[in-house]
Structure 1
């Protein structure tokens, strides 16, 4: 890719001054429409050799655009807060809202390239990282975030000369330097080769690379402005109508009956009051001991509670809370997205709740809402909820790779037991707040939810984040099974440390 940049590109100062007002006017008009629509956001990844002018380009963009909807997102060595979480967490935390533009210095590419060049892992690991980046960027694109990836290119000789000048001469203004750790010529050559490989693998339809010659600053800035105008125009363009679904072929064989994963559960399982008291205390003690251990400080625990309405999620979470240090956990109830959450990618509100290592987050309902309630109620398109299975698996794999233990539970009860619990809530004053008209309406959609649960378990139960189906008809049995599963998962994970 870099070979194509070896033709010198220049633009006179006079020519640049003549075209600059048109660039600025075009950018402001397009940005104004982006802000008004609030449908998409743009992430500009500014990459390139030190001395290529990343800081100058950043300042030029602030001079051209409405700075009120422009954010600079800079990343260097991880802070203590960032180090305590998965590496990609800090990028999720800072995700701009729809209508905003974020300019990123020190993106996920910098981290991947630096690790590959400095730590010299095998090429397979680097390739795997790049493919994970592709999936991440594809997901962002599907959720309305346009990623504009710029590499400001300098010939190696020119880059070395500029780097030498930066090192020896006094700087009259701040200089954006990202590659101080890559000091030798040999490492910088390896960096260029690795960057070329990264471009080859990660220049996709959803997020292509744009390489811009940075030898001449006027040409560089004019090209950045032109490319950004094209990107803004794409961001505000009407969405293409969805393609009509294919016409299904006529069945040539009898259709097999649909099988629900919940139908195999034995909902008659139960514990007596005396058995329950002994077993729940034993499992709570195990969790207390494991969560307080030195080994857990390098780990984290994420618990997901899903299930039928009135299946006992809240009361089970209460028994788990009793086993945990209140300073080291939080319960996150998930409901209808807020305005702040709606203008960002779907997983944003969950990524920002990922606990620090040594801590626990308990999700009372979760990201699985996209493939459950949003699917059944029609709040998400078939394309969105079908896509979500893979996005969820990637999310959970990233948590697992960062040392987190994931425990996911579906609490199952029968329709008859749910009706009995609903009726009890209507008559008990302090439980009445838990029951809504929507809960009664949802009972009519029981078969649809059962089908959605089956698909969810089939497509997202992985070795690193398996689903546990809980027979919750008897609350005693269900609570003990949940806490025992968490204790077992923690014990197994900490034994590996």
Structure 2
């Protein structure tokens, strides 16, 4: 194959890859698209003009490219990063986590979303089950809910008594200072949405069969106890906001803008820069004239239905 033809073929491959990348973005965005018409009308009236899709994708791809640079910087300098995502149910934590990790190496950037504690874990030091998930050098860990469960859902739902909650508030500042002293970079986000917005998002889940799995009995109770959650959140932010580990509040009513704002802010917290990169040379394949590829039985193949 001559050089011009090879360049042309490479360009075609890159265009196909770019189309696949955009298709992946569209697939993710479709999570918001399947709504009953009545809920869609209510949602549109509540939100007004949304961010144009083209503008959103351009900003998203730019930020994701910067996140790759941040990832490489973390690896190169053996940094340890922990990011906590907290907020009410349906506030958009999962959506921003999904966009942050979408193009990053899952061996470097891990998401931790722990289930309810087991009977054994309930007898342990409260922070014990979170400690094994903390990063080693060159890793970023994103907690989709964290040890702040004790100050939120456990407190409001009665899974922790007043003494346990008070002990948490005494312990958590020192725990986070310990992490900071050991060199862990800790970032804490609270995603804030209004009462009306949460109601709309719950209605979306009720009427969308692809999202009903997201609606748990605990989520329904969070609607009933909105004010209790508000009081718990206010005290949590007041008592656990400190210079070593400040809270950052993300206005979450507009999903797209909330994702972009959070990603942009996260990048601004680190003095990352492009790191030296070894050039990659694709080696030529070794051909063996005596090798003949075996024909495998047809039943081993997945049927071509699409």
> Fold conserved (TM > 0.5)?
yes
Going from structure 1 to structure 2, the CA distance change for 1:460 and 1:271 (only over 3 Å counts) comes to farther
How far did 1:295 drift? 6.9
Give the number of equivalent residue pairs: 229
**Range with bigger deviation, 272-281 or 284-293:** 272-281
Map 1:371-450 → 2, pairs under 5 A: 371-450=151-230
- Give 2:64's aligned residue: 284
- Give 1:455's aligned residue: 235
Q: Deviations over 1:310-341 (max 9, x none)?
A: 11111111001124211112211133101331
In 2, distance between residues paired with 1:294 and 1:449?
35
Query: Is the 1:405–1:493 Cα contact (8 Å) retained in structure 2?
Result: no
Going from structure 1 to structure 2, the CA distance change for 1:294 and 1:383 (only over 3 Å counts) comes to closer
Going from structure 1 to structure 2, the CA distance change for 1:275 and 1:463 (only over 3 Å counts) comes to farther
Going from structure 1 to structure 2, the CA distance change for 1:336 and 1:484 (only over 3 Å counts) comes to same
2:82 equivalent to 1:302: yes
Map 1:58-73 → 2, pairs under 5 A: none
RMSD: 2.4
Query: Is the 1:306–1:409 Cα contact (8 Å) retained in structure 2?
Result: yes
Query: Is the 1:269–1:477 Cα contact (8 Å) retained in structure 2?
Result: no
Query: Is the 1:312–1:472 Cα contact (8 Å) retained in structure 2?
Result: yes
Query: Is the 2:169–2:239 Cα contact (8 Å) retained in structure 1?
Result: yes
Going from structure 1 to structure 2, the CA distance change for 1:368 and 1:468 (only over 3 Å counts) comes to same
2:254 equivalent to 1:474: yes
How far did 1:437 drift? 2.9
- Give the structure, 1 or 2, with the largest relative contact order (CA under 8 Å, sep 6 or more): 2
Map 1:131-146 → 2, pairs under 5 A: none
* TM-score relative to the length of structure 2: 0.69
Q: Deviations over 1:214-248 (max 9, x none)?
A: xxxxxxxxxxxxxxxxxxxxxxxxxxxxxxxxxxx
* TM-score relative to the length of structure 1: 0.44
Q: Is the radius of gyration larger for structure 1 or structure 2?
A: 1
In 2, distance between residues paired with 1:349 and 1:337?
8
How far did 1:438 drift? 2.8
**Unaligned stretches of 5+ residues in structure 1:** 1-266
Secondary structure at the counterpart of residue 245 of structure 2? coil
Query: Is the 1:298–1:403 Cα contact (8 Å) retained in structure 2?
Result: no
How far did 1:270 drift? 6.3
Query: Is the 1:269–1:471 Cα contact (8 Å) retained in structure 2?
Result: no
How far did 1:350 drift? 0.7
Map 1:11-26 → 2, pairs under 5 A: none
In 2, distance between residues paired with 1:374 and 1:345?
15
Map 1:151-190 → 2, pairs under 5 A: none
Map 1:36-435 → 2, pairs under 5 A: 271-293=51-73, 297-435=77-215
- Give 2:30's aligned residue: none
**Unaligned stretches of 5+ residues in structure 2:** 1-46, 275-306
In 2, distance between residues paired with 1:313 and 1:408?
12
Going from structure 1 to structure 2, the CA distance change for 1:295 and 1:332 (only over 3 Å counts) comes to closer
Q: Deviations over 1:408-465 (max 9, x none)?
A: 1111111111111111112222111001233122212111111111111111112221
Query: Which aligned runs of 4 or more in structure 1 are off by greater than 6 angstroms?
Result: 267-270
